[in-house]
Amino acid sequence: MQCSDFRELADSYLSDELLIETNHDLIRHLESCADCRHELAARRELRSKLRKGFRQAAELQMPDEFAGELRSQLRNATLLPSRSPFQTTLTRRAAYLAIAASLVIAAALGFSAIQQRSNVQPNIVTEAGRETKSSPGGSESSNSTGRALVSASLTENAISDHRDCAINHRLKEKPVDLDEGGRSYDRAYINLVQAVMSDGQLPGGATLVAAHSCIFNGQRFGHVILKYHDQLVSVLVTAVGAAQTSEQKALGASKEESITSAWSDVYRVAHFETARHAVFVVSSLSEADNIAIARAVAPSVSKHVERAEVA
């Protein structure tokens, strides 16, 4: 079993949903892979915290008045004098409906809380699975060699732009034509589609859906939307403002080596950088497919953006 296989199966393992044979394969992999053991422990801890938070959240507790009224109704239904079978059936049905209603309310509140808790910052990791740690001052550093990773907040903006623009079409500000955005905001957007689609490097079956410049949470993106395996894929280019340091240049990591991976509860993100831009590939594809698209577009998109930076 490879680390990528483990990441696909980890949640099912924690939920006891795997076959015995698959469990054995996964356990054998964990015995020899410290990174995956660390990730499994982190996922288990996250589940525990979510479960604890769900149980203790004040907004999910049944109001005292409602609970008292429900107990009173159930008690009265139990203590009523003898009735006809028809009356007894109606009384029991009313009690059951009251219980069912309370369960529906609790379930709805729980779903709402889970939705609110799902908007957490994604963990930024390299392809090898090493986490990016936050320093005491709030900046991020990576224990892997290569370029510095962008902030978690910028990654969140990229994920949210993919969700609200490519999928749900609910941005507050209307997108503009990509070349128009290039002339007005960032030259890197001009001819960005050609850079993404050039050389036939994209995996077979990947097609162009749309392209424009859009803005989310104050961050402007050049946005090329693809479709692959019936899933929408966003290639997002945005300016990060800070010039590449001489130390980063000296590292000279290849485009493939400098691609990093992140994920939220729903989306996969692959990311690479130029001197003053960050490029994100966001989708609901598997990690392997999402990174494959990033690897395919990285050479041509990086060259295109770098030319725009010095123009």
Quick one: tokens of 256? 């493939």
- Round to whole Å and give the CA distance between 154 and 279: 11
Q: Domain limits of the chain?
A: 3-56, 58-117, 146-310
The CA–CA distances, whole Å, from 54 to 48, 102, 122, 244 equal: 10, 17, 20, 44
Whether 81 has a pLDDT exceeding 50, the answer reads yes
Give per-residue pLDDT as tens, 85-107.
545 555 556 556 666 666 666 55
CA 217 from centroid of its chain's CA atoms? 17
| Sheet arrangement for strand 231-239 | 123-126, 260-263, 268-273, 277-283, 231-239, 219-228, 207-216
Residue 253 contacts by C-beta under 8 Å, 6 or more apart in sequence?
Answer: 145, 146, 147
pTM: 0.54
pLDDT at 190: 94
Length of the chain: 311
Quick one: tokens of 118? 């799902």
| 281 confidence band (pLDDT: 50, 70, 90) | very high
Q: Is 304 helix (H, G, I), strand (E, B) or coil?
A: helix
Fold of domain 146-310? Phosphorylase Kinase; domain 1 (3.30.200)
Q: How do beta strands 277-283 and 132-134 pair?
A: unpaired
Give per-residue pLDDT as tens, 189-245.
999 999 999 867 888 889 999 999 999 999 999 999 999 999 999 999 999 865 443
Residue type, 290: N
Whether 277 has a pLDDT exceeding 70, the answer reads yes
pLDDT at 150: 59
End-to-end CA distance of the chain: 47
CA 251 from centroid of its chain's CA atoms? 29
- Round to whole Å and give the CA distance between 236 and 165: 11
